[in-house]
């Protein structure tokens, strides 16, 4: 087949597919242009989810009459003049592709009057070709109307989602940029109905109220910028308390130098900052603004400009995680059990089910970690002896009330009687929490007590797992798991954490490797600690003696956060006497 050059029109339509994926892509590119033009008001009007029309009006600098046709040529931009400019991008747009790409797959009309011009220019294009140009009266700024998107690319049109889905994607984008640019007044209408608007007051909290409502906005915690002398990367924004969580990661929004970006590593950094604070399978709300020198970030990664690369690729992860975690820690006051167990909640009555409380009620207390002595329960004889204890170095008062062990149900839950009610304790969750805090405290002091094995245990892994384990050998050793190479992809475990002395060393190593795989190359020792504790903690179905149950409760009482396990699941539920009376029809 003969090689021939594509026509300019066909090449433009193909190139448009990289930039304009759907109606929200059009909104993104045009709104970013308006922001770059210095607009203080941006109105977005969308019909039928963008299929029928999209109109963006702004009061920015406008486009000069002599430049308006040039603006719709491929690779035409006012934001770059030399290749050196790519090393320090300070604008949202710079590639010179958006207007040409949008015009190539739509019927487009633009009216623009530049600052200081006597009149504006109205330009009409179809499939990227100018069909009309005239001088018109117009206010300063630019209005772009995009109609019949993808009318000449039916294959792309066919893959659009429903109008409701496209509307939602547009909503998400506009609200994100309203948060990033609170000084700009945004107004979004769908089919003539206003669905979102911001005041342009400059206060991010005003925008948060408009998006999430006053109740959630009131609870959000503000992230203070880190000391710029320590790092050129400053992190600000807002995060939700542990009580505000969602079923997916969609409420984590990242901005780098005012640009909305998607970055799985930074999203994971936010999630890791909530380690042990959220229930399993739930995700936080986070609005993260990162500011760093333009030369330290490469935004020329993808035509949509939604992906970036950092010159120092590891630093942003740690900075973001640390900033979020410190914000959560600062907002975690000591929550005494009596605040709810003795009836001081709203309504003056304790809840019937612990799980019905806001997760915020379970926020961990950031206090000195107790030095707990927790031994693998299988070491106890059938008669049931006490778990060995060491001196308790914690001076903090227990957050749990005094409980009396009544018994065990299902060989999984400990029944206890406390002040004015009944407690059902999940023995696995309680044991895991206590193990976690002991090992975490030792790890934080870089002094994990280890038990050397008299005979090593050989473990064979897959090649990728072996490479991963070798890469993070030092991190694994910090949690007390020591090993050495013992043949191709095989390792000999020589020592384990003392609290796991009776556990299967092979299971421990495999659990740690699984955690390394899930961490996607960004390893947090807290995750490794959790992996160890999950492996060695009690399992449901294990019958316990009264002494063993009392020991578990004693260890839980000494925890800084006795309310949840490391995954954020409750360690117990509480039934008040009043709740029991209601259940039995006595009230």
Looking up residue 497, the CATH number of its domain turns out to be: 3.30.1370.100
Please state the domain count of the chain: 4
Domain boundary among 276, 311, 330: 330
Residue 210 lies in a domain: no
**370 and 352 fall within a common domain:** yes
Q: Is residue 401 assigned to a domain?
A: yes
User: Does residue 365 share a domain with residue 240?
Assistant: no
Q: Where are the alpha helices (DSSP H) in 213-300?
A: 214-219, 264-273
Q: From first to last of the 587 residues of the chain, give the pLDDT tens digit.
A: 676 665 666 665 555 555 688 899 999 999 999 999 999 999 999 999 999 999 999 999 999 999 999 888 877 666 555 555 555 566 675 656 788 889 999 999 999 999 999 999 999 999 989 999 999 999 999 999 999 999 888 888 888 888 888 999 999 999 999 999 999 999 999 999 999 999 999 999 999 998 888 888 888 999 986 655 556 888 999 999 887 888 888 899 999 888 888 888 889 889 988 877 777 778 899 999 988 887 877 765 665 667 777 777 777 888 898 899 888 877 754 333 333 333 333 333 333 333 333 333 333 333 343 333 333 343 443 333 333 333 333 435 567 888 889 999 988 999 999 877 889 999 999 999 998 888 888 888 888 888 888 888 888 888 888 888 888 888 888 888 888 888 888 888 888 888 888 888 888 888 888 888 877 656 666 788 888 888 888 888 888 899 999 999 988 888 888 888 887 788 888 888 888 888 888 77
> Dihedral of the CA atoms 410, 412, 417, 422 (nearest 10)?
-80
Q: Does residue 432 share a domain with residue 307?
A: no
Shared domain for 326 and 343, answered yes or no, is: no
The answer to whether residues 304 and 360 belong to one domain is no
- Residue 111 and residue 546: Cα distance in Å, rounded? 81
CA pair distance 440, 117, nearest whole angstrom: 67
Q: Are 378 and 396 in a shared domain?
A: yes
CATH number, domain containing residue 57: 3.30.565.10
Given 313, 330, 347, the domain boundary residue is: 330
As given in the structure block, the two tokens for residue 453 are 């094995």
Distance CA 283, CA 240 (A): 10
291: closest CA among 203, 204, 223, 206? 223
Two tokens, residue 39: 């607009």
**Residue 572 carries which DSSP code?**
E
Nearest alpha-carbon partner for 128 in 95, 97, 169, 161:
97
Q: How far apart are CA 129 and CA 63, in angstroms?
A: 18
Joined together, the tokens standing for residue 341 give 């167990």
The C-alpha atoms of residue 264 and residue 411 are separated, in whole angstroms, by 41
Of 499, 498, 487, 496, the closest CA to residue 459 belongs to: 487
Q: And the tokens for 364?
A: 């961990």
Confirm if 205 and 62 have CB atoms less than 8 A apart: no
CATH number of the domain to which 266 belongs: 3.30.230.10
Last residue of a domain, one of 165, 199, 233: 199
Positions of E strands within 67-207: 107-113, 120-126, 129-136, 141-147, 185-190, 193-197
Query: Cα–Cα distance between 513 and 483 in angstroms, integer?
Result: 13
Residues 6+ apart with CB under 8 A from 179: 204, 207, 208, 211, 253, 287
Domain ranges, residue 554: 339-437+542-583
The answer to whether residues 34 and 182 belong to one domain is: yes
Residue 214 lies in a domain: no
Is 289 in the same domain as 307? yes
What does the angle CA 129 – CA 131 – CA 135 come to, to the nearest 5 degrees?
120
Contact criterion met (CB below 8 Å) for 500 and 376: yes
The answer to whether residues 22 and 79 belong to one domain is yes
Within 13 A of 280's CA, how many CA atoms are on the CB side?
Answer: 8
Bridge partners, 288 (sequence order): 237, 254
Asked if residue 144 and residue 119 are part of one domain, the reply reads yes
The per-residue pLDDT for 86 is: 54
Neighbours of 81 (CB within 10 A): 8
Q: How many whole angstroms separate alpha carbon 145 and alpha carbon 124? A: 10
Instruction: Tell the residue number behind the tokens 């633009």, with chain if given.
Output: 110
- Give the tokens for residue 526: 């807290």
Identify the pLDDT of residue 230.
Answer: 58
Please report whether residue 191 resides in a domain.
Answer: yes
Question: Is 204 part of a structural domain of the chain?
Answer: no
Establish if 378 belongs to a structural domain. Answer: yes
Taking alpha carbons only, the member of 424, 367, 364 closest to residue 243 is: 364
Same domain, 95 and 73: yes
215 within domain boundaries: no
Q: Does residue 296 belong to any structural domain of this protein? A: yes
The CATH number assigned to the domain holding 418 equals: 3.30.1540.20
> Is residue 240 domain-shared with residue 125, that is, in the same domain?
no
DSSP state for residue 564 in the 8-state scheme: B
């Amino acid at each position: 087949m003969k090689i021939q050059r594509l026509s300019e029109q066909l090449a433009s339509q193909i190139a448009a597919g990289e930039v304009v994926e759907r109606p929200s892509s059009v909104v993104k590119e045009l709104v970013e242009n308006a922001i770059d033009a210095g607009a203080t008001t941006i109105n977005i009007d969308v019909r039928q989810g963008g299929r029928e029309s999209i109109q963006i009006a702004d009061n920015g600098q406008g486009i000069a009459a002599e430049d308006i046709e040039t603006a719709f040529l491929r690779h035409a931009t006012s934001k770059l003049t030399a290749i050196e400019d790519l090393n320090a991008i300070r604008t949202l747009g710079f590639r010179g592709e958006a207007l040409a790409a949008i015009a190539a797959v739509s019927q487009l009309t633009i009216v623009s009057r530049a600052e200081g011009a006597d009149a504006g220019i109205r330009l009409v294009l179809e499939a990227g070709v100018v069909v009309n140009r005239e001088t018109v009266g117009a206010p300063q700024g630019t209005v772009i109307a995009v109609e019949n998107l993808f009318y000449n690319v039916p294959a792309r049109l066919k893959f659009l989602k429903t109008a409701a889905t496209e509307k939602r994607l547009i909503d998400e984008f506009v609200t994100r940029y309203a948060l990033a640019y609170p000084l700009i007044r945004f107004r979004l209408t769908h089919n003539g109905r206003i669905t979102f608007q911001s005041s342009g007051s400059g206060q991010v909290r005003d925008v948060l109220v408009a998006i999430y409502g006053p109740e959630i906005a009131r609870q959000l915690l503000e992230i203070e910028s880190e000391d710029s002398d320590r790092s050129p990367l400053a992190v600000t924004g807002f995060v939700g308390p542990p009580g505000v969580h969602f079923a997916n990661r969609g409420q984590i929004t990242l901005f780098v130098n005012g640009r909305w970006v998607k970055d799985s590593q930074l999203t994971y950094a936010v999630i890791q900052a909530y380690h042990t604070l959220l229930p399993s399978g739930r995700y936080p709300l986070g609005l993260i603004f990162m500011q760093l020198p333009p030369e330290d970030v490469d935004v020329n990664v993808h035509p949509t400009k939604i992906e970036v690369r950092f010159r120092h690729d590891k630093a942003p992860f740690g900075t973001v995680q640390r900033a979020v975690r410190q914000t959560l820690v600062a907002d975690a006051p000591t929550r005494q059990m009596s605040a709810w167990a003795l009836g001081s909640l709203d309504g003056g009555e304790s809840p019937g089910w612990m799980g019905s409380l806001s997760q915020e009620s379970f926020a961990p207390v950031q206090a000195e970690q107790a030095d707990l002595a927790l031994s693998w329960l299988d070491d106890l004889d059938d008669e049931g002896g006490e778990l060995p204890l060491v001196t308790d170095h914690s001076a903090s008062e227990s957050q749990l009330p005094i409980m009396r062990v009544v018994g065990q149900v299902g060989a999984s839950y400990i029944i206890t009687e406390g002040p004015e009610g009944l407690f059902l304790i999940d023995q696995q969750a309680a044991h895991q929490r206590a193990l976690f805090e002991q090992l975490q405290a030792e790890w934080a002091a870089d002094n994990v007590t280890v038990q050397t094995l008299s005979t090593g245990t050989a473990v064979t892994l897959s090649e990728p797992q072996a490479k991963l384990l070798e890469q993070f050998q030092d991190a694994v050793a910090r949690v007390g798991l020591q090993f050495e190479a013992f043949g191709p992809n095989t390792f000999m475990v020589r020592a384990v954490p003392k609290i796991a002395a009776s556990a299967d060393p092979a299971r421990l190593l495999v659990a740690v490797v699984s955690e390394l795989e899930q961490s996607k190359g960004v390893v947090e020792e807290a995750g490794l600690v959790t992996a160890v504790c999950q492996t060695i903690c009690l399992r449901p179905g294990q019958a316990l003696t009264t002494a063993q149950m009392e020991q578990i409760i004693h260890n839980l009482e000494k925890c800084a956060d006795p309310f949840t396990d490391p995954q954020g699941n409750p360690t117990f539920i509480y039934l008040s006497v009043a709740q029991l009376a209601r259940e039995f029809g006595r009230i």
